[in-house]
Structure formats: C-alpha cells, structure tokens
Amino acid sequence: MYYVSTRDRLGKTTVSGAIAYGLAPDGGLYTPEAVPSLAGNALNTLKDMTYQQRAVYVMNMFLDGYSASELSGFCAKAYGGGKFDDPAVAPVRTLDDRTHVLELWHGPTCAFKDMALQMLPHLLTSALKKEGETKTACILVATSGDTGKGALEGFKDVPGTRILVFYPKDGVSEVQQLQMTTQEGSNVGVCSVVGNFDDAQTGVKTIFSDPALRSELAERGAFLSSANSINWGRVLPQIVYYVSAYCDLLKSGALEKGDKLNVCVPTGNFGNILAAYYAKQMGVPIGRLICASNRNNVLTEFIETGVYDKNRTFYNTTSPSMDILISSNLERLLHACTYGDAEQVKGYMEKLARTGKYEVEESVKHRIGRDFSAACCDDEKAKAAIGRLWREKRYLIDPHTAVAVDALEQYRSKTGDETPTLVVSTASPFKFCPAVMEGLGEKEPPQGLKGIERLSQLTGIPAPAPLAGLAGKEIRFTGVTEKENMPQIVREMLN
C-alpha cells in the first residue's frame, strides 16, 4: 500500500517514507492511497483481545514492511509496562444505555496525546532505519502545553533520539510548567522562551529553515525532525482506539454485531475525529461523527456551510487545546471528499494561505455532511455540563470533554437521533482543576498543585499519580532564552 500527498497525485511513498519525513515535499499530508477494510468477522475476533493485540492487528493493516512481532514490541513499550494506569489502556465507561465515554487520558501525561505520542517514537525510529537514516533524530517541539509534555514522555530514553521542547515562559499553566521542568530522561531538554506561544513557534520554524545549523548538525551526526500532529505516525495509533471501543461495547453487550455507534469528539486540529472517520471507512459500524468545538468554532461553520474562514477573533478558552483556527488535519478529509483530487485540495490550501478563507463545492460539502455533524459551545455551557454530569452521574470530566458533552446534547435535541454514542474524553479533569471546580460551583478555586489537592478533596477521587506526584519532584530545567538565541540552545543540547 502506498501513501500519496494530498496535494500531488504522483507524490507517492511507502509508509516508512511518510512517517520518516512527515510532510510531503509539496507541503501536502501523506494519506493512505486506499483505506484497508476489516474482514467480516474481524471485530468479533478482536473483541477477545487486549488493547495491545488490537493495536498490532489494526496498525499492521496500514504498515507494509513491518512485521507483527516488530509491532508487538512497539505496543509493549508504548502501552505496557505500567505506563497506563488502567489495564484496558483506553477504557469505555457507560453513563446510560445510549451514552458511553472513551477515556483517553490514562497515560503518563493524563491527556489523549499520549495515545499517539507513546507510539510515534517507535514508528519513527524504525521508519528512519528502513529509510537508511543512521543519524540521531533531534526532535524539536514548540508547545502551548499538552503536546510538549506528551512528546517528552514518548521520546524519553528512546535510543537514536534527542528531544528539546520550547514553551512560552508565561504562556502555560503552573501544572503544565512543572510537568515539563521536572521531566526525567537522559536525552531530553526543556527551555522556556521569553514571549508567547507564537514566539516559541516562530523560533522553532526559523531553526528548521536554517541551512547553516542543519549542516552543522549533520556533521555532528544529527538531524532535525518534528513530532507534529500531521505526521501519519500520529494519526494511525488513534484509529486503534475507535476499533477497540466498538469491540469493548460488543463484549459488554451494549452493542450487537452491526449496531451503529455515533461518535462525538472535542476537536482542535482535526486529528482525533479524522481517526474515527478512518475507522468508519475500515468498516467499524460508526454512524454520525459529531465534531465539537469551543468558541473558536471555525469547524462548526465549515461543516454547516462549506465555508472555511479563519478571519475571525481568536478566543482563549478553558479548553486551550482546542483553541485553534487552522485545523491542519482537515486537509486529509478534503482529500477523501474530493476523491483524491490533488489539484482541488491544493487550490483550497493556497486560498487559505493567501486569504484565510476557502469554500468547497456543493458536492464536496454534501459528502462531508453524509458523515459529519457539528456543534459548538462557550465556556459557560461547558462548565454547566461539568456540573450537571457530576450531580446526575457522579462522573467527572475536564473542560474539553465537556464541550463534547454539550455538543452531543445539542445534536440530540436538534435531530432526535437516539443512536448510542461514544463521547471521547481527551484529558483528565485533574489537568484543568480551576475550570472543573468552577463547574462544580466553587467560587475561587485554588490554582496549581493546591488545585489538584482541592479537587480531590471535593470529589473523593484520587488525582492520577503523575499529577499527584509532581509535588515531590526535582526541577531539572530552569533555562530561559530569548527567541533569537534558540539555535544556540539546540547546539548546546548536542554537546
């Protein structure tokens, strides 16, 4: 099976090429030429397997040139060894007979990024080997919070890699900063940048396009790489948990063979919900894909009208990982809904770059509408959803998941669709304590580590160990740099 660029029909590569190089030379995203189909009895077979075994089975269908035993090794390292605090890895909780929650935050950083970032380093290092690359991969990340910590935990002590994370000095929460500055591992580096997220991001982009630095690194046996969410190696591990969730619901008897399951996903860069779309294409009986957005509702508008317009106010919300105006992975859906018409997709992306806006044809909009619905809500409604679910079900959710819960309620009352639905829960509530406590009715909730303690007292739920344990951890990284000096930090790291 080959992978094609969304912007060039002829730009084909193998899966190891797609993962090793991330982005196609024309700027497009590598996408499988055809999505493989699950055999008729596959879900029934997978039902009795562990999460790791399901992951081997599903990923193997997309990974030519990888053996099942190689993938078993990756899955053991990514999802085994006590890295996830639930033996099911991605457990499904049932709230009522038509509402189930897929918890994707049982990994080392308590957010769903772990599902892919625990696997990516293994896929990436093996892809580099298969492509004949022998140098050390130096992963650079600019982060506004969750991705940086996820990438640090994924790449820590992975042979053949170094990882360096830059975060804005005053742009992350106290807990997020502690998560990063206490990072363990012998190949990791963390540095704060004076300025905001854009400064950190621009600094990293400048480093990537600095030929002198690149050749200096090459001489020292290293090259720059990224852990960006447009890499196929981050999308693929996410398909697994949709297949797995369906199997769990078959096993528990909540669904019977062939029953439809809707999926509702809190969405930012469109990676997570895209994985659900691929699972549906593979043959998992998924019904509607409900795309939930916060006040930055560019995707809601696009799915409803066919117009993508990023020329709008940017809002900082209580669900910061969804504060995004350019959803990069949407390009892969456009590829599918134009039947792989690279010229058309390229046209949209050029318009987006030039004017911040594009409109798809009626036929494309119609194809998107066959699978997708959309809804959005603001912080107040998300907080209300947190309070409601806690009072009515004693079930605690974070503000990102709350956006999905509210979107699902809107969808149900608008359409009357009673199909059982899987709500995707993307972060532990203990990662966003102040907003969660406001949802529970606390007037002035404490921030930082005190917030974690207080939320635990209020609910009687113990905080996840990686967050509770932050209090006793040694701070390893205190560096601060000006944006201009970031290349020097990269050099020092390799000394």
Ligand X SMILES: *Cc1c(COP(=O)(O)O)cnc(C)c1O
- Choosing from 12, 83, 113, 346, the catalytic residue is 113
Q: How far apart are CA 347 and CA 471, in angstroms?
A: 51
Contact call for residue 271 and ligand X (CB under 6 A): yes
Out of 322, 345, 364, 467, name the contact with ligand X by CB under 6 A.
Answer: 322
113 annotated active-site: yes
Amino acid present at 466:
P
The residue (of 57 and 112) whose beta carbon lies closer to ligand X is 112
Contact call for residue 162 and ligand X (CB under 6 A): no
Applying CB under 6 A, which part among 175-183, 239-247, 263-271, 361-369 lies near ligand X? 263-271
Applying CB under 6 A, which part among 44-52, 200-208, 265-273, 411-419 lies near ligand X? 265-273
Q: How far apart are CA 276 and CA 243, in angstroms?
A: 9
Contact of 3 with 13, CB cutoff 8 Å: yes
Out of 59, 427, 435, 463, name the contact with ligand X by CB under 6 A.
Answer: 427
Q: How far apart are CA 169 and CA 189, in angstroms?
A: 15
Contact call for residue 270 and ligand X (CB under 6 A): yes
Out of 146, 153, 248, 379, name the contact with ligand X by CB under 6 A.
Answer: 146
Contact call for residue 300 and ligand X (CB under 6 A): no
The residue (of 234 and 367) whose beta carbon lies closer to ligand X is 234
Give all strands of the β-sheet with 8-13 in edge-to-edge order.
8-13, 3-5, 30-32
The residue (of 174 and 343) whose beta carbon lies closer to ligand X is 174
The residue (of 214 and 310) whose beta carbon lies closer to ligand X is 310
Contact call for residue 321 and ligand X (CB under 6 A): yes
Contact call for residue 266 and ligand X (CB under 6 A): yes
In the bound complex, what is the minimum distance in angstroms from residue 214's beta carbon to ligand X? Answer: 28
Q: Give the alpha-carbon dihedral of 171, 174, 177, 183, to 10 degrees.
A: -170
User: With 0-12 CB in 10 A as exposed, 13-18 as middle and 19+ as buried, what is 278?
Assistant: buried
In the bound complex, what is the minimum distance in angstroms from residue 337's beta carbon to ligand X? Answer: 18
Contact call for residue 400 and ligand X (CB under 6 A): yes
The residue (of 222 and 403) whose beta carbon lies closer to ligand X is 403
Applying CB under 6 A, which part among 106-114, 212-220, 356-364, 472-480 lies near ligand X? 106-114
Out of 268, 420, 464, 466, name the contact with ligand X by CB under 6 A.
Answer: 268
The residue (of 112 and 348) whose beta carbon lies closer to ligand X is 112
In the bound complex, what is the minimum distance in angstroms from residue 435's beta carbon to ligand X? Answer: 12
Contact call for residue 426 and ligand X (CB under 6 A): yes
Contact call for residue 113 and ligand X (CB under 6 A): yes
The residue (of 223 and 395) whose beta carbon lies closer to ligand X is 395
Contact call for residue 272 and ligand X (CB under 6 A): yes
Contact call for residue 375 and ligand X (CB under 6 A): no
Contact call for residue 153 and ligand X (CB under 6 A): no
In the bound complex, what is the minimum distance in angstroms from residue 428's beta carbon to ligand X? Answer: 9
Q: How far apart are CA 131 and CA 325, in angstroms?
A: 34
Total binding residues toward ligand X, as defined by CB under 6 A: 16
The residue (of 42 and 427) whose beta carbon lies closer to ligand X is 427
Contact call for residue 109 and ligand X (CB under 6 A): no
In the bound complex, what is the minimum distance in angstroms from residue 269's beta carbon to ligand X? Answer: 3
In the bound complex, what is the minimum distance in angstroms from residue 397's beta carbon to ligand X? Answer: 11
Q: Which residues would be at the binding site for ligand X (CB under 6 A)?
A: 111-113, 146, 266-272, 321-322, 400, 426-427
Active site residues: 113
